[in-house]
Amino acid sequence: MTVLRELLQEISYECVSGTLEKGITDVIYDSRKVTENCLFVCIPGAKADGHSFAADAVRSGAAALIVEHEVALPEGSEVTVIRVENARYAMAFASAAYFGHPAKQMKIIGITGTKGKTTTTYLVKSILEQTGRKVGLIGTIEIIAGDTHIHAENTTPESYLVQQYFRMMADAGCDTVVMEVSSQGLMLHRTQGFVFDFGIFTNLEPDHIGENEHKDFDDYLHCKSLLFKQCRVGIVNADDSHWQEVTKDCTCQLETYGIDREADLRAEDITFLNEGGSLGMAFTTKGLTALSVKTASPGKFNVYNALTAIAICRHFGVEEKEVQRALAAARVKGRTEMVPVSDKFTLIIDYAHNAMALKSLLETLKAYQPHRLVCLFGCGGNRAKSRRYEMGEVSGKMADLTIITSDNPRSEEPQAIIDDIKIGIGKTDGKYVEICDRKEAIAYAIDHGEPGDIIVLAGKGHEDYQEINGVKYPMDERVLIREILEERA
C-alpha cells in the first residue's frame, strides 16, 4: 500500500477535498475494475468519460479520485478529490510512483516512426542479448518480460500498463527495455512518468490520420516529435525529409544515420542477396562504426532497420561479431517473413496494410527480379476508403498478378471492400483475381505459383485472427499455409 501523497509527488494538482495521507492499493482507470481503497483516474475517452463514473467508483470503494473538473459524488462521501489539468498525464506519473519507478532500474529505448518500429525492436533485442544483456520488449506483437509473453492490444499500452510491464521486467532481471512508441501513445501521454535513455525516429509518412486518430499530418508529426523532449539521446534517420521538423525543439543529444545523405552512421555497398530463394541484404557501415553486415530480411528498408539497430547498440559496446551474428539470424514474425513452401518460388508474409507500405514492399521485391511478383491482400473494414483505392492502384501497377481477398472486414461486407479495391486496380492495366475467402485465396496463390515467382501475402503479418462483426476469429496465415500443404499432400 502506498500513501496518496507519494503518488502525487511529480504532479501539479489541487486537493479539492479529503486527505493526502490515505493508503492506496492500486491505480485504476476503468470503473469496472475499481477495488477497495484504490485511486480512480477519471479519463475523458473517445467513447466514454471517466468523470461520469466517479460516483460509481466511490460506491465501489475508491479512496481517491483524480479529476479534470467537478464531479457528482455520493452524499457524505469522504473520498479525496485531486484536480489536475490533464488526467492522462497525471496517471502516467502516479503509475510510475505506484510501481516504484522501475524505469530507473533499466536502460529504456523508445522507437517511433511510421515504418520499421517492430522489426527494429526485435533486432535490437537480438543484438543486445548476444552480449548477455536481458532485454524486455513492448510492441505491436507482444510484451516480453523474462520468460513471460503477453499478447499486445496496442502498440504502446496505457501508461499504467507500461509501468506494470516495466516492473515485471525489472523483477525478472531485465537491464534493458526496447519498446515501440506510437504517435497515439505520445499524444495520450502513455510514455510520461519516465525518461527514455534513447529515442529513435525511423521515418514519417501520412498514416493514422482520421476521425479517431490524428486530425492531420501536422498533428501526426507533432506527436512523433514529443519523443525527443522525453529522451537523453536522439537517434534519427537523416534520409527522411521530416527529421529536422521532428527534432526542431528537441532537448536531447542528437545523432543521425542514413544511406542517401551525409550522416553520422552510413550504410554503403548495398547488395541484394538471393540464395536459393531465401532473400536478404548485405552492406557495410561507415562513420561512427565500421562493419560488414548480412541480414536475413530482404529490401532496402531492412537495411534501414539493421542500421537503426546498429546505431542504438553501439552505445552498449556490442562487439562487431555479435552484431553480425544477430543480424544474420534475426527473424521477425509478419515482417517480410519467408515461409518455406516450395523450392520453385518464394512465399512471404508481411504486415503492409496501407499504400505506402505496400509500394515500398513491392519495390523491394521487384529488385530481386522475380519471374512474377504476385500480391495477395485485402483491406480492413471501418477504415478510410481511400486506403482501398490506393492499395488497389499500387498493386495493379506493380504486381504481375493481384489476388484480392478479405482482411479484417469488421462490420462491413467483405465483398463491398473488395469492390472498392477493384476501383483502384481499375485505374491500371494490372491483372487480378478476386477470392473472398482468405484461405482459398492463399491456396490459389500456392497452386498457381510458377518457378521464380515471389508471392507476398500482405496486410495480416503477425496477426493471428480475423475480425468480423466485433468478434476476433482465430486465423493465422502460417496455420492456413500448413493446412493447405497437408490437404495437397
Q: Rounded distance, CA 465 to CA 475, Å?
A: 4
3-state DSSP assignment of residue 199: strand
Asked if residues 244 and 282 have their Cβ atoms less than 8 Å apart, the reply is no
Asked whether residue 110 falls in the same domain as residue 30, the answer is no
Q: Residue 205 has what pLDDT?
A: 78
Among the candidates 273, 295, 329, a domain finishes at 329
Q: Rounded distance, CA 377 to CA 403, Å?
A: 7
Among the candidates 300, 329, 358, a domain finishes at 329
Asked whether residue 24 falls in the same domain as residue 94, the answer is yes
3-state DSSP assignment of residue 325: helix
Q: Residue 224 has what pLDDT?
A: 87
Q: Which three cell numbers stand for residue 335?
A: 515482417
Asked whether residue 106 falls in the same domain as residue 92, the answer is no
Asked whether residue 197 falls in the same domain as residue 76, the answer is no
Cβ within 8 Å of residue 342, ≥6 positions away: 446, 449
Asked whether residue 27 falls in the same domain as residue 11, the answer is yes
Cβ within 8 Å of residue 76, ≥6 positions away: none
Q: Which three cell numbers stand for residue 122?
A: 526485435
Residue stretches of the chain with pLDDT short of 50? 208-210
Element (DSSP H or E) covering residue 453 = none
Query: How far lies 184's CA from each of 195, 207, 238, 249, 315, in Å?
Result: 18, 12, 23, 20, 28
Q: Residue 331 has what pLDDT?
A: 85
Asked whether residue 11 falls in the same domain as residue 25, the answer is yes
Asked whether residue 293 falls in the same domain as residue 166, the answer is yes
Please provide the DSSP assignment of 386-408 as one string.
Answer: HHHHHHHHHHHHH-SEEEE--S-
The four Cα atoms 438, 441, 447, 450 give a dihedral, to 10 degrees, of -120
Helices (H), ranges, 381-473: 385-398, 414-425, 438-447
Please provide the DSSP assignment of 130-167 as one string.
Answer: HTT--EEEESSSEEEETTEEEE-SSSS--HHHHHHHHH
Q: What is the side-by-side order of every strand in the sheet holding 148-151? A: 148-151, 142-145, 135-138, 176-180, 107-112, 196-201, 231-237, 253-258, 265-275, 278-287, 291-295
3-state DSSP assignment of residue 214: strand
Among the candidates 329, 353, 381, a domain finishes at 329
User: What CATH number is attached to the domain comprising 233?
Assistant: 3.40.1190.10
Element (DSSP H or E) covering residue 308 = helix 300-313
User: What CATH number is attached to the domain comprising 28?
Assistant: 3.40.1390.10
Q: What is the pLDDT of residues 336-355, one digit of tens each?
A: 999 999 989 999 999 999 99
User: What CATH number is attached to the domain comprising 474?
Assistant: 3.90.190.20
Q: What is the pLDDT of residues 263-309, one digit of tens each?
A: 999 999 999 998 877 899 999 999 999 999 999 899 998 999 999 99
Asked whether residue 110 falls in the same domain as residue 232, the answer is yes
Cβ within 8 Å of residue 153, ≥6 positions away: none
Asked whether residue 380 falls in the same domain as residue 451, the answer is yes
Q: Rounded distance, CA 36 to CA 39, Å?
A: 9
Asked whether residue 276 falls in the same domain as residue 402, the answer is no
Cα torsion angle, 326, 169, 313, 118, sign? positive
Q: Rounded distance, CA 90 to CA 41, Å?
A: 9
The total number of structural domains in the chain stands at: 3
Domain that holds residue 87: 2-98
Query: How far lies 358's CA from each of 152, 302, 377, 410, 457, in Å?
Result: 23, 14, 10, 21, 11
Query: How far lies 227's CA from each of 124, 192, 268, 447, in Å?
Result: 18, 10, 29, 47
Asked whether residue 317 falls in the same domain as residue 353, the answer is no
Asked whether residue 245 falls in the same domain as residue 152, the answer is yes
